[in-house]
Amino acid sequence: MRRTSAVALLCGFVGVAGLLAGQATDGKTLDIYYIDTEGGQSTLFVSPAGESLLVDTGNPGDRDVPRIIEALTAAHVSRIDHLWLTHYHVDHVGGLEQLAQRIPVQHFYDHGKNVEPREQVAGFSAMYEALSQGKRTTVKPGDKLRMAGLDITVVASAGQVLTTNLPGGGRANPACAGVKPKDESPTDDNGQSAGFALTYGKFRTVDLGDLLWNRELELMCPTNRIGTVDLYLTSHHGLSQSGSPALVHALAPRVAIMNNGTRKGGALDAFETVHTSPGLEDLWQLHWSYNVGLDHNTAGVFIANIEPNDTVAGILTAQAPARGAAPHVPAYWLKVSARPDGAFTVTNPRNGFSKTYRPRP
């Protein structure tokens, strides 16, 4: 597992040209854009046939929705065929109303009723009910989202998890040993997250939203219902309430992508779990994390949004960075292009660096 160095991070350059890897060029790809919502989520999937699936809409305001529109434009998406809401927290659904005013949405998917007594986005339920009328599906574990060429299976929703095995799943999970449940509130909508496993040929990935630790254990222990994946999006932005070793080590991803912000997500124990996952080749991040300094952040070329040198220097000399800092401008996403043979390429537009991961043996 590659770790960053002070020189690499502070200079923002570690010989990018020498690290460039060839991209897969033959055949159509599944393209995934991990959009920077600075610690929220918005992820765009575009199938080889051009069909679109957007997972979550980031925060309200004038920051995240333009970033989502920029990704949609880059992907040549003129409408959202499938809009998947993992749960109803502000950093996942806050941009929905503004986004729907700017681009057509064909269908909506969610876990059902919000279990929290107070909405994080004022008036959201009424707005969403009106917006999605006649176009809404409440999903449950085992359901399928139909997109040509892809297999998308719901593995968690509304506090319930998959109880049957996906292809490649069904083995006893030794990573469950010693992993204990955590205290969780039954009215935390994170635990209701609607998550799925996606397969394109031999390529596999998961998006579990902010699924909480105990739901992960129910899904993966004592039997790993999912099997292994090529790419793992860190659950809950890399916060300590999710991303248990029972989940991450059993999935055994070749690549992990952390959708963290500078302070949101990126907890030390989440980094350690990812770093020690068997078979992990690289960790990519949407942001350099203030929480873990040089010891656990990945090398600069694998990070979409890097802090200025003087900011990093201040953090390394124990000067607390100012809160309320301006958002990154420009903001960069991470892009994944996957082929049906299992090969996939991750690209960092900030520096033009890309790396291709060959199919598993």
pLDDT digits (tens, 9 = 90+) for 60-117: 999 999 999 999 999 999 999 999 999 999 999 999 999 999 999 999 999 999 999 9
- Which residue in 278, 279, 297, 275 sits closest to 288, CA to CA? 297
- Of 82, 103, 96, 104, which is closest to residue 154 (Cα–Cα)? 82
pLDDT higher at 139 or 9: 139
| For range 229-246, the mean pLDDT | 96
pTM (2 d.p.): 0.90
Question: Which residues are bridge partners to 357 per DSSP?
Answer: 344
Q: Which domain holds residue 103?
A: 6-357
- For residue 318, what pLDDT is reported? 65
Region at 252 (left for phi over 0; alpha for psi -120 to 50; beta for the rest)? left
SS3 337: strand
Q: Which amino acid is at 41?
A: Q
Q: Is residue 20 part of a domain?
A: yes
pLDDT: which is higher, 8 or 139: 139
Pairwise CA distance, residues 75 & 263, whole Å:
29
Count of CA atoms in the C-beta half-sphere (13 A) of 37: 29
Rounded CA gap, 358 and 361, in Å? 9
Residue 306 burial (CB < 10 Å; 0-12/13-18/19+)? buried
Burial of 230 (0-12, 13-18, 19+ CB in 10 A): buried
What pLDDT score does 294 carry?
A: 83
CATH number at 61 reads 3.60.15.10
User: What count of residues does the chain have?
Assistant: 361
For residue 197, the cross-strand partners are 153, 206
Give the count of domains, the chain. 1
Residue 1 lies in a domain: no
Identify whether the C-beta of residue 184 lies closer than 8 Å to the C-beta of residue 210.
no
Residue 308 pLDDT grade (very low, low, confident, very high; cuts 50, 70, 90): confident
Tokens for 299? 């090398």
pLDDT confidence of 319, banded at 50, 70, 90? Answer: low
Q: Where are the alpha helices (DSSP H) in the chain?
A: 6-11, 16-19, 64-74, 90-93, 96-102, 124-131, 213-220, 245-251, 268-275, 293-296, 309-316
Share of the chain above pLDDT 70, in %: 89
In angstroms, the first-to-last Cα distance of the chain is 19
Considering only residues 12 and 247, tell me which one the structure prediction assigns the higher pLDDT.
247
Residue 180 falls inside a structural domain: yes
| pLDDT surpassing 90 at residue 38 | yes
Q: Per-residue confidence at 8, pLDDT binned at 50, 70, 90?
A: very low
Q: Tokens 């039954």 map to which residue?
A: 186
pLDDT digits (tens, 9 = 90+) for 113-133: 999 999 999 999 999 999 999
Residue 10: pLDDT over 70: no
